[in-house]
Homo-oligomer: A and B are copies of this chain.
Amino acid sequence: MTTIINEHRAAGQSIGFVPTMGALHDGHMTLLREAKKENDITVVSVFVNPLQFGPDEDFDAYPRDIDADQSLVARIDIDYLFHPTSEEMYPKQDITLTVGRLAAVLEGAKRPGHFDGVVTVVNKLFNIIKPDRAYFGKKDAQQLAIIEAMVDDFNHDIEIIGIDIVREEDGLAKSSRNVYLTDEERLEAVALYNSLLLAKELIDGGETQTAVIEEEIIRYITSYSSGTVDEVAIYQYPELIKVDKLEGQCFISLAVKFSKARLIDNMIIGGL
């Protein structure tokens, strides 16, 4: 991969990069199409990164289908699919990366070590692929904020581009984990998005107390689905600071547990 990349860079070609854990869906394809549009060469990586899974998480069960990924990627003529093994990526690891306060809230608080694993692998991939631009979904808003912080801290000369959440027709955010939903849960899962639309309505109507908005979201999801609200919170973005009153750019973050899937969704509320 390094040799190939160096040839393209020597030829003065720009490189767009989309890191993924595979199980590619329309969300990823949107990132890839965007990368293809803006760069001479596009690289997608498929690597289920063991470091970002906790001991009780779904590393073994995480969906893997490299053949399906490959044919999806071929369909839009992506230049390279980089698919290393864990042994190639982690022959050993003497230096560890730790995300501070940005990982102490939201998903990071629920999944200790998760974002340390994310920045570890993304830093490695950035150095292997040497992209001009890298593309991340806004669905993982905390991840996007942390990647941007890493790029600043590490002086990576890479433009990070956040891409809007891609949704199913009914509004459910696309995710590799949606396959874990039962048929009934799949129908109910639209409640996540609808609760965010409800929140937006409240805010447009003048509501600024985050506690009130959060309460309404919980009431809605609990009424319209069998899911359990794991977290609903309103944070300043990208600082990831909790606020009592909407101010500046904020995002509403949701995590809801179904029988086998924990789904997340969010909405960014621009400068109020």
Q: Which chain A residues have a beta carbon within 8 Å of chain B's beta carbons?
A: 2, 6, 9-10, 12, 91-102, 119, 123-125, 127-128, 130, 146, 149-150, 152-157
Across the interface, which residues of B come within 8 angstroms of A123, CB to CB?
154
Point out the residue from B2, B10, B157 that lies within 8 Å of A130, measured CB to CB.
B157
Q: A97-B97, A98-B98 are in contact. Are A153 and B92 (CB under 8 A)?
A: yes
- The residue on B at minimum CB distance from A130 is B157
CA of A100 to CA of B6, assembled, Å: 31
Smallest beta-carbon distance A201→chain B, Å: 34
Q: What are 19 contact pairs spanning A and B, CB under 8 A?
A: A2-B157, A9-B9, A10-B12, A91-B152, A93-B100, A93-B153, A94-B100, A94-B102, A95-B97, A95-B99, A95-B100, A95-B150, A95-B153, A97-B97, A98-B98, A123-B154, A124-B155, A127-B154, A127-B157
Check A127 against B98 for contact (C-beta < 8 Å): no
CB of A6, distance to nearest CB on chain B (Å): 7
Shortest Cβ gap from A82 to chain B (Å): 12
Is B124 in contact with A154, judged by CB distance below 8 angstroms?
yes
Decide if A98 touches B96 in the complex (CB within 8 Å): yes
Question: In the complex this chain forms, how many copies of it are found?
Answer: 2
In Å, the complex CA distance between A113 and B267 comes to 40
Instruction: Known A6-B157, A127-B157; judge A95-B98 contact (CB<8 A).
Output: yes
Closest B residue to A100 by beta carbon equals B94
Q: Which residue of B lies closest to A123 (CB)?
A: B154
Q: A92-B152, A95-B153, A127-B157 are in contact. List 9 more A-B contacts (CB 8 A).
A: A91-B152, A95-B146, A96-B97, A96-B98, A98-B98, A124-B153, A125-B155, A127-B156, A130-B157
C-alpha spacing A96/B236, complex, angstroms: 23
State the Cβ distance, A233 to closest chain B Cβ, in Å: 19
Residues of B within 8 A of A2 (CB): 157
Q: Bound complex: CA of A78 vs CA of B104, how far in Å?
A: 45
Contact A128 B155 (CB under 8 A): yes
**Residues from chain B with Cβ under 8 Å of A100 in the complex:** 93-96
Residue of B nearest to A119 (CB): B95
A95 and B128 within 8 A (CB): no
> In the complex, what residues of B have CB within 8 A of residue A91's CB?
152
How far is A155 from B157 in the complex, measured between Cα atoms in Å?
A: 15
For the complex, give the distance between the alpha carbons of A127 and B101 in Å. Answer: 24
Which one of B6, B95, B99, B155 contacts A94 once the chains associate, using CB atoms below 8 Å? B99
Q: Which residue of B lies closest to A128 (CB)?
A: B155
Find the B residue at minimum CB distance from A91.
Answer: B152
Bound form: Cα–Cα A100–B98 in Å: 12
- Residue of B with least CB distance to A9: B9
